[in-house]
Amino acid sequence: MSLFHYLRALYGIVGRELFRFVHQRERFISALVRPLLWLFVFAAGFRSTLGIAIIPPYETYILYEVYITPGLLGMIQLFNGMQSSLSMVYDREMGSMRTLLVSPLPRWFLLTAKLLAGTLVSILQAYAFLAVAWGYGIQAEPSGYISVFPALLLSGLMLGALGLLLSSVIKQLENFAGVMNFVIFPLFFLSTALYPLWKLQESSELLYLLARYNPFSAAVELIRFALYGRLNVPAGAVVLATLMALMASAIYGYNPSKGFMQRKGNANI
């Protein structure tokens, strides 16, 4: 297989996902409604609540809704990762995933292309949310909208790899909703998406430890620092390591002879 075949397959997979996203306006709207409700309704009750910005030299008090904006960006990417996982389960039941995975290209490349396609969709949704937040008066420095792109890409890949791993484990579409809620809510609420670590430690030492070692917290902090034009190296290292572990597990899971999708007799993919 030549480089041309790889690029053509990547173009086809990414283009198909973007084309599907453009023609599914309900998916785009639903992806924005949830974080916007948190921003406009939930945060309104905490408008007087102040949190500390943990980014030197910006160690000052900021409004609560400004603090949770990176957490809501993480929420968008988390739900998009689960949505992509749902799409994978659906495609597997309909047979299109089987058609894709039996192509001559390596399985790891095809899964990586699917992951990249879903991540690009999540980034589009994240920037749409930032545009709405900007109109609401929650604005970062102009350079922050550029520097946040690599953080959104890395965090989106990590959360998309989590969804990819789940899609290799879930066998039926009917089981997906329960598993998705079981994964999403602990990841989001046991993180720094809503409150900083020092605030969580004041409430509960156990909650503090769970949030500190939650990979989603690292993704949120990576986005938060990037919005200020700074790089959080420890958070980036955690996100990258988690991405590699999840992606390796997902590739193994989609191995029909050894992975989680192994079947007796005929396989679904």
Cβ atoms 244, 112 nearer than 8 A: no
The predicted model gives 139-146 an average pLDDT of 86
pLDDT of residue 197: 85
Residue 80 CA: distances (Å) to CA of 103, 126, 136, 167, 255: 26, 10, 23, 13, 24
The predicted model gives 99-126 an average pLDDT of 86
**How far is Cα 170 from Cα 182, in angstroms, rounded to an integer?**
13
**pLDDT at residue 105 tops 90:** no
Beta carbons within 10 angstroms of residue 263's beta carbon: 11
Q: What is the mean pLDDT of the chain?
A: 79
Tens digit of each residue's pLDDT (9 = 90 or more) over 149-193: 999 999 999 999 998 888 888 777 666 767 777 888 899 989 988
pLDDT above 70 covers a percentage of the chain that reads 78
- Residues near 131 by Cβ (< 8 Å), separated by ≥ 6? none
pLDDT of residue 148: 94
> What letters, b where the CB count within 10 A reaches 16 and e where it falls short, cover 197-227?
bebbeeeeeebbebbeebbbbbbbbbbbbbb
> What letters, b where the CB count within 10 A reaches 16 and e where it falls short, cover 30-66?
ebbeebbebbeeebeebeeeebebbbeeeeeeebbbb
Predicted TM-score (pTM) of the model is: 0.83
**How far is Cα 114 from Cα 82, in angstroms, rounded to an integer?**
13
Do strands 50-52 and 61-63 pair parallel, antiparallel, or not at all (unpaired)? antiparallel
Cβ atoms 77, 156 nearer than 8 A: yes
Tokens 């720094």 belong to 192
- Residues near 168 by Cβ (< 8 Å), separated by ≥ 6? 250, 253, 254, 259, 260, 261
Beta carbons within 10 angstroms of residue 22's beta carbon: 12
In the chain, where are the structural domains located?
3-253
DSSP E strand boundaries for the chain:
50-52, 61-63
Tokens of 61: 């008090």
More confident residue, 44 or 113: 113
Handedness of CA 240, 244, 246, 251 (dihedral sign): positive
Tokens of 192: 């720094």
Tokens of 120: 């690009």
Tens digit of each residue's pLDDT (9 = 90 or more) over 58-89: 344 445 667 778 888 999 899 888 888 777 77
Beta carbons within 10 angstroms of residue 12's beta carbon: 13
Tokens of 143: 């350079």
